[in-house]
Protein backbone atom coordinates (compact mmCIF):
# COMPACT_ATOMS: atom_id res chain seq x y z
CA UNK A 1 0.00 0.00 0.00
CA UNK A 2 1.35 3.42 -0.99
CA UNK A 3 0.36 6.47 1.02
CA UNK A 4 1.04 10.00 -0.23
CA UNK A 5 1.07 12.59 2.56
CA UNK A 6 0.81 16.29 1.66
CA UNK A 7 -0.09 18.06 4.87
CA UNK A 8 2.75 19.97 6.52
CA UNK A 9 0.94 19.89 9.88
CA UNK A 10 1.64 16.15 10.06
CA UNK A 11 5.39 16.38 9.45
CA UNK A 12 6.22 16.90 13.17
CA UNK A 13 4.36 13.63 13.81
CA UNK A 14 5.91 11.65 10.96
CA UNK A 15 7.45 8.95 13.19
CA UNK A 16 4.12 8.39 14.95
CA UNK A 17 2.20 7.96 11.68
CA UNK A 18 4.82 5.71 10.11
CA UNK A 19 4.86 3.48 13.19
CA UNK A 20 1.07 3.19 13.31
CA UNK A 21 0.20 2.26 9.70
CA UNK A 22 0.51 -1.35 8.44
CA UNK A 23 4.11 -2.54 8.27
CA UNK A 24 4.03 -3.04 4.51
CA UNK A 25 2.83 0.53 3.82
CA UNK A 26 5.10 2.92 1.94
CA UNK A 27 4.75 6.60 2.82
CA UNK A 28 5.73 9.37 0.44
CA UNK A 29 5.97 12.77 2.16
CA UNK A 30 5.52 16.23 0.59
CA UNK A 31 6.33 19.30 2.68
CA UNK A 32 4.22 21.62 0.51
CA UNK A 33 1.37 21.44 -2.00
CA UNK A 34 3.05 21.09 -5.40
CA UNK A 35 0.31 19.85 -7.71
CA UNK A 36 2.65 18.67 -10.46
CA UNK A 37 4.79 16.66 -8.05
CA UNK A 38 1.72 15.20 -6.40
CA UNK A 39 0.16 14.20 -9.71
CA UNK A 40 3.28 12.23 -10.56
CA UNK A 41 3.42 10.61 -7.13
CA UNK A 42 -0.27 9.69 -7.07
CA UNK A 43 -0.19 7.46 -10.14
CA UNK A 44 0.42 4.34 -8.04
CA UNK A 45 -0.97 5.59 -4.71
CA UNK A 46 -3.69 3.88 -2.70
CA UNK A 47 -4.20 6.64 -0.11
CA UNK A 48 -3.81 10.40 -0.23
CA UNK A 49 -3.59 12.39 3.00
CA UNK A 50 -4.04 16.13 2.58
CA UNK A 51 -6.47 19.01 2.66
CA UNK A 52 -6.58 19.76 -1.07
CA UNK A 53 -7.33 17.36 -3.88
CA UNK A 54 -7.86 18.66 -7.41
CA UNK A 55 -9.53 17.15 -10.51
CA UNK A 56 -6.11 16.74 -12.13
CA UNK A 57 -4.89 14.77 -9.14
CA UNK A 58 -7.99 12.58 -9.33
CA UNK A 59 -7.38 11.85 -13.00
CA UNK A 60 -3.83 10.70 -12.28
CA UNK A 61 -4.64 8.61 -9.20
CA UNK A 62 -6.04 5.54 -10.95
CA UNK A 63 -5.41 3.19 -8.00
CA UNK A 64 -6.66 5.55 -5.31
CA UNK A 65 -8.96 4.12 -2.66
CA UNK A 66 -9.02 6.79 0.06
CA UNK A 67 -8.61 10.55 0.41
CA UNK A 68 -8.11 11.38 4.07
CA UNK A 69 -8.24 15.01 5.17
CA UNK A 70 -6.14 15.77 8.25
CA UNK A 71 -8.86 18.02 9.61
CA UNK A 72 -12.59 18.63 9.53
CA UNK A 73 -12.99 20.77 6.40
CA UNK A 74 -13.44 19.03 3.05
CA UNK A 75 -14.28 22.11 0.97
CA UNK A 76 -11.02 21.80 -1.05
CA UNK A 77 -11.68 18.23 -2.16
CA UNK A 78 -12.89 17.80 -5.76
CA UNK A 79 -15.59 15.27 -4.90
CA UNK A 80 -17.11 15.30 -8.38
CA UNK A 81 -13.80 14.23 -9.92
CA UNK A 82 -13.36 11.18 -7.71
CA UNK A 83 -14.21 7.69 -8.86
CA UNK A 84 -17.39 6.36 -7.22
CA UNK A 85 -15.51 3.83 -5.11
CA UNK A 86 -13.01 6.32 -3.63
CA UNK A 87 -13.74 7.09 0.01
CA UNK A 88 -13.21 10.50 1.60
CA UNK A 89 -12.74 10.76 5.36
CA UNK A 90 -11.95 13.55 7.78
CA UNK A 91 -10.91 13.86 11.41
CA UNK A 92 -11.44 16.29 14.26
CA UNK A 93 -9.72 16.47 17.68
CA UNK A 94 -9.54 20.26 17.46
CA UNK A 95 -12.52 20.98 19.67
CA UNK A 96 -10.67 21.10 22.99
CA UNK A 97 -7.96 23.39 21.63
CA UNK A 98 -10.58 25.66 20.08
CA UNK A 99 -12.54 25.68 23.33
CA UNK A 100 -9.44 26.88 25.18
CA UNK A 101 -9.03 29.66 22.61
CA UNK A 102 -12.65 30.79 22.86
CA UNK A 103 -12.66 31.00 26.64
CA UNK A 104 -9.22 32.63 26.79
CA UNK A 105 -10.29 35.20 24.19
CA UNK A 106 -13.53 35.90 26.06
CA UNK A 107 -11.60 36.52 29.27
CA UNK A 108 -9.01 38.73 27.56
CA UNK A 109 -11.63 40.87 25.83
CA UNK A 110 -14.33 40.94 28.50
CA UNK A 111 -11.77 41.97 31.13
CA UNK A 112 -10.13 44.49 28.80
CA UNK A 113 -6.69 42.86 29.00
CA UNK A 114 -5.89 43.34 25.30
CA UNK A 115 -6.46 47.10 25.56
CA UNK A 116 -4.59 47.24 28.87
CA UNK A 117 -1.58 45.53 27.31
CA UNK A 118 -1.48 48.10 24.50
CA UNK A 119 -1.82 50.99 26.93
CA UNK A 120 0.81 49.76 29.36
CA UNK A 121 3.36 49.50 26.56
CA UNK A 122 2.92 53.26 26.35
CA UNK A 123 3.21 53.73 30.11
CA UNK A 124 -0.51 54.11 30.71
CA UNK A 125 -2.06 52.07 33.54
CA UNK A 126 -5.52 51.68 32.00
CA UNK A 127 -7.49 50.34 34.94
CA UNK A 128 -10.13 51.81 37.22
CA UNK A 129 -7.61 51.64 40.06
CA UNK A 130 -5.64 54.48 38.45
CA UNK A 131 -8.25 56.11 36.20
CA UNK A 132 -11.60 57.13 37.70
CA UNK A 133 -13.12 57.41 34.21
CA UNK A 134 -12.71 53.68 33.61
CA UNK A 135 -15.23 51.15 34.90
CA UNK A 136 -14.48 47.83 36.55
CA UNK A 137 -14.54 44.97 34.09
CA UNK A 138 -16.69 41.84 34.22
CA UNK A 139 -15.52 38.29 34.81
CA UNK A 140 -17.16 35.25 33.25
CA UNK A 141 -19.10 34.44 36.41
CA UNK A 142 -22.74 34.96 35.56
CA UNK A 143 -21.92 35.86 31.95
CA UNK A 144 -24.52 34.83 29.40
CA UNK A 145 -22.93 32.89 26.54
CA UNK A 146 -24.76 32.41 23.26
CA UNK A 147 -23.75 29.71 20.79
CA UNK A 148 -24.42 30.06 17.08
CA UNK A 149 -23.91 26.42 16.22
CA UNK A 150 -23.58 23.79 18.92
CA UNK A 151 -21.66 20.83 17.58
CA UNK A 152 -18.54 19.25 19.03
CA UNK A 153 -16.83 22.66 19.29
CA UNK A 154 -19.81 24.20 21.03
CA UNK A 155 -20.10 21.33 23.49
CA UNK A 156 -16.40 21.43 24.39
CA UNK A 157 -16.46 25.20 24.78
CA UNK A 158 -19.60 25.16 26.91
CA UNK A 159 -17.96 22.68 29.29
CA UNK A 160 -15.25 25.25 30.02
CA UNK A 161 -17.62 28.22 30.27
CA UNK A 162 -19.77 26.34 32.78
CA UNK A 163 -16.74 25.91 35.03
CA UNK A 164 -16.53 29.71 35.23
CA UNK A 165 -20.16 29.97 36.31
CA UNK A 166 -21.59 31.21 33.02
CA UNK A 167 -25.07 30.51 31.69
CA UNK A 168 -25.74 29.54 28.11
CA UNK A 169 -28.15 29.22 25.19
CA UNK A 170 -27.78 28.01 21.61
CA UNK A 171 -29.29 28.27 18.16
CA UNK A 172 -28.62 25.70 15.46
CA UNK A 173 -29.79 24.95 11.96
CA UNK A 174 -31.91 21.99 12.97
CA UNK A 175 -32.96 23.35 16.33
CA UNK A 176 -32.67 19.89 17.87
CA UNK A 177 -30.36 20.59 20.84
CA UNK A 178 -31.76 19.19 24.09
CA UNK A 179 -31.18 22.22 26.31
CA UNK A 180 -31.80 20.59 29.72
CA UNK A 181 -29.44 17.68 29.07
CA UNK A 182 -26.78 20.07 27.73
CA UNK A 183 -27.12 22.36 30.75
CA UNK A 184 -28.31 25.29 28.64
CA UNK A 185 -31.05 27.72 29.60
CA UNK A 186 -32.68 27.24 26.21
CA UNK A 187 -32.00 26.16 22.64
CA UNK A 188 -33.82 26.77 19.37
CA UNK A 189 -33.36 27.01 15.63
CA UNK A 190 -31.81 30.03 13.92
CA UNK A 191 -35.12 31.85 13.81
CA UNK A 192 -34.27 32.79 17.41
CA UNK A 193 -30.85 34.25 16.52
CA UNK A 194 -32.05 37.76 17.36
CA UNK A 195 -33.16 36.70 20.82
CA UNK A 196 -29.85 34.94 21.40
CA UNK A 197 -27.86 38.04 20.52
CA UNK A 198 -29.97 40.36 22.66
CA UNK A 199 -29.61 38.11 25.69
CA UNK A 200 -25.90 37.29 25.35
CA UNK A 201 -22.77 38.89 26.74
CA UNK A 202 -20.47 36.62 24.72
CA UNK A 203 -21.46 35.06 21.39
CA UNK A 204 -19.50 32.10 20.02
CA UNK A 205 -19.88 31.46 16.29
CA UNK A 206 -19.03 27.93 15.17
CA UNK A 207 -21.79 27.13 12.68
CA UNK A 208 -20.94 25.51 9.33
CA UNK A 209 -20.75 27.80 6.31
CA UNK A 210 -23.28 27.18 3.56
CA UNK A 211 -25.76 29.15 1.46
CA UNK A 212 -28.14 29.45 4.42
CA UNK A 213 -25.58 30.63 6.97
CA UNK A 214 -23.39 32.90 4.86
CA UNK A 215 -23.72 36.44 6.22
CA UNK A 216 -26.19 35.34 8.91
CA UNK A 217 -24.73 37.89 11.34
CA UNK A 218 -24.89 41.40 9.95
CA UNK A 219 -25.42 44.96 11.15
CA UNK A 220 -28.79 44.29 12.79
CA UNK A 221 -27.52 41.26 14.65
CA UNK A 222 -24.41 43.07 15.89
CA UNK A 223 -26.55 45.94 17.14
CA UNK A 224 -28.60 43.37 19.02
CA UNK A 225 -25.44 42.05 20.70
CA UNK A 226 -24.83 45.56 21.96
CA UNK A 227 -22.05 47.77 23.25
CA UNK A 228 -21.03 45.38 26.05
CA UNK A 229 -21.08 42.30 23.85
CA UNK A 230 -18.09 40.22 22.75
CA UNK A 231 -18.12 38.17 19.54
CA UNK A 232 -15.82 35.17 19.01
CA UNK A 233 -15.81 33.63 15.52
CA UNK A 234 -14.13 30.23 15.14
CA UNK A 235 -16.46 28.94 12.42
CA UNK A 236 -15.84 30.62 9.07
CA UNK A 237 -15.24 34.30 8.37
CA UNK A 238 -18.20 34.87 6.01
CA UNK A 239 -20.69 33.75 8.64
CA UNK A 240 -20.30 37.34 9.84
CA UNK A 241 -20.66 40.09 7.27
CA UNK A 242 -17.24 41.67 6.82
CA UNK A 243 -18.18 45.34 6.51
CA UNK A 244 -20.79 45.08 9.24
CA UNK A 245 -18.24 43.59 11.64
CA UNK A 246 -15.68 46.29 10.91
CA UNK A 247 -18.27 49.03 11.34
CA UNK A 248 -19.56 47.54 14.60
CA UNK A 249 -16.07 47.36 16.07
CA UNK A 250 -14.92 50.77 14.88
CA UNK A 251 -18.09 52.45 16.19
CA UNK A 252 -18.12 50.45 19.47
CA UNK A 253 -21.52 49.07 18.53
CA UNK A 254 -20.10 45.93 20.13
CA UNK A 255 -17.37 45.94 22.75
CA UNK A 256 -14.86 43.64 21.10
CA UNK A 257 -14.30 40.58 18.93
CA UNK A 258 -11.88 37.70 18.60
CA UNK A 259 -11.61 36.59 14.99
CA UNK A 260 -9.73 33.42 14.09
CA UNK A 261 -11.35 32.80 10.69
CA UNK A 262 -11.09 35.34 7.89
CA UNK A 263 -12.23 36.69 4.56
CA UNK A 264 -8.92 36.44 2.72
CA UNK A 265 -6.19 33.84 3.16
CA UNK A 266 -2.49 33.87 2.25
CA UNK A 267 -0.62 31.93 -0.39
CA UNK A 268 1.97 29.26 0.38
CA UNK A 269 4.38 31.86 1.78
CA UNK A 270 2.02 32.64 4.65
CA UNK A 271 1.89 36.33 3.82
CA UNK A 272 -1.21 38.39 3.17
CA UNK A 273 -3.81 40.52 4.90
CA UNK A 274 -6.85 38.69 6.25
CA UNK A 275 -9.24 41.33 4.96
CA UNK A 276 -9.35 44.29 2.62
CA UNK A 277 -10.61 46.31 5.57
CA UNK A 278 -8.15 47.70 8.18
CA UNK A 279 -9.10 45.48 11.12
CA UNK A 280 -5.50 45.70 12.34
CA UNK A 281 -6.00 49.37 13.17
CA UNK A 282 -8.81 48.64 15.62
CA UNK A 283 -7.99 48.46 19.34
CA UNK A 284 -10.85 46.15 20.28
CA UNK A 285 -10.12 43.05 18.23
CA UNK A 286 -8.00 39.99 18.87
CA UNK A 287 -6.74 38.77 15.48
CA UNK A 288 -5.38 35.25 15.11
CA UNK A 289 -4.37 33.35 11.93
CA UNK A 290 -6.87 30.46 11.99
CA UNK A 291 -4.80 28.92 14.75
CA UNK A 292 -7.36 28.21 17.47
CA UNK A 293 -7.33 24.48 16.79
CA UNK A 294 -3.61 24.16 16.11
CA UNK A 295 -1.92 22.31 18.95
CA UNK A 296 0.22 19.23 19.46
CA UNK A 297 -2.76 17.47 20.99
CA UNK A 298 -4.97 18.19 17.96
CA UNK A 299 -2.59 16.68 15.45
CA UNK A 300 -1.55 13.70 17.56
CA UNK A 301 -5.23 12.77 17.69
CA UNK A 302 -5.59 13.29 13.95
CA UNK A 303 -2.55 11.17 13.15
CA UNK A 304 -3.98 8.35 15.23
CA UNK A 305 -7.34 8.60 13.42
CA UNK A 306 -5.68 8.59 10.00
CA UNK A 307 -3.50 5.59 10.87
CA UNK A 308 -6.53 3.74 12.23
CA UNK A 309 -8.51 4.33 9.03
CA UNK A 310 -5.60 3.26 6.83
CA UNK A 311 -5.33 0.07 8.86
CA UNK A 312 -9.08 -0.49 8.51
CA UNK A 313 -8.79 0.04 4.75
CA UNK A 314 -6.01 -2.55 4.54
CA UNK A 315 -8.13 -5.06 6.49
CA UNK A 316 -11.30 -4.39 4.51
CA UNK A 317 -13.09 -3.01 7.56
CA UNK A 318 -15.51 -0.07 7.70
CA UNK A 319 -13.78 3.30 8.04
CA UNK A 320 -14.69 5.98 10.55
CA UNK A 321 -15.66 9.59 9.74
CA UNK A 322 -16.41 8.83 6.10
CA UNK A 323 -17.99 11.81 4.37
CA UNK A 324 -18.19 10.42 0.80
CA UNK A 325 -19.62 8.54 -0.87
CA UNK A 326 -22.79 8.95 1.17
CA UNK A 327 -23.56 5.23 1.20
CA UNK A 328 -20.17 4.59 2.77
CA UNK A 329 -20.73 7.03 5.57
CA UNK A 330 -23.89 5.47 6.98
CA UNK A 331 -23.57 5.40 10.72
CA UNK A 332 -19.97 6.61 10.68
CA UNK A 333 -20.35 10.20 11.80
CA UNK A 334 -21.61 9.78 15.33
pLDDT, tens digit, for every residue of 60-70?
999 999 999 99
Q: Where in the sequence of the chain do the CATH 3.40.50.720 domains occur?
A: 2-93+296-329, 95-287
Residue 333 in this model has a pLDDT that exceeds 60: no
Give the mean model confidence (pLDDT) for residues 244-264: 98
Residue 20 confidence (pLDDT): 98
CATH of domain 95-287: 3.40.50.720
pLDDT, tens digit, for every residue of 71-125?
998 989 999 999 999 999 999 999 999 999 999 999 999 999 999 999 999 999 9
Q: Compute the mean pLDDT over every residue in the chain, rounded to the nearest whole number.
A: 95
Residue 329 confidence (pLDDT): 35
| Predicted confidence band of residue 325 (pLDDT cuts 50, 70, 90) | confident
Using alpha carbons, list the distances in angstroms from residue 30 to 147, 236, 298, 300: 38, 27, 20, 19
CB atoms within 10 A of CB 218: 15
CB atoms within 10 A of CB 173: 16
CATH of domain 2-93+296-329: 3.40.50.720
Burial 108-118, CB ≥16 within 10 A → b, else e = bbbebebbbee
Amino acid sequence: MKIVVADSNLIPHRPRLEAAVPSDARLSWHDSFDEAALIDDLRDADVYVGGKFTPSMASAAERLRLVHVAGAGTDSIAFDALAPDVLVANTFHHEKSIAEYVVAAAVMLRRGFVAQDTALRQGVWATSVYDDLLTQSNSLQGARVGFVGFGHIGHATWTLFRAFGATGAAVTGRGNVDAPSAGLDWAADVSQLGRLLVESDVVVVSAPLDDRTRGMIGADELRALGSDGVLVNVGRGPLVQEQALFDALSSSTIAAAAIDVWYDYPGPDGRGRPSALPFSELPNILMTPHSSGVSQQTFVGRVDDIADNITRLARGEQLRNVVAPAVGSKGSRA
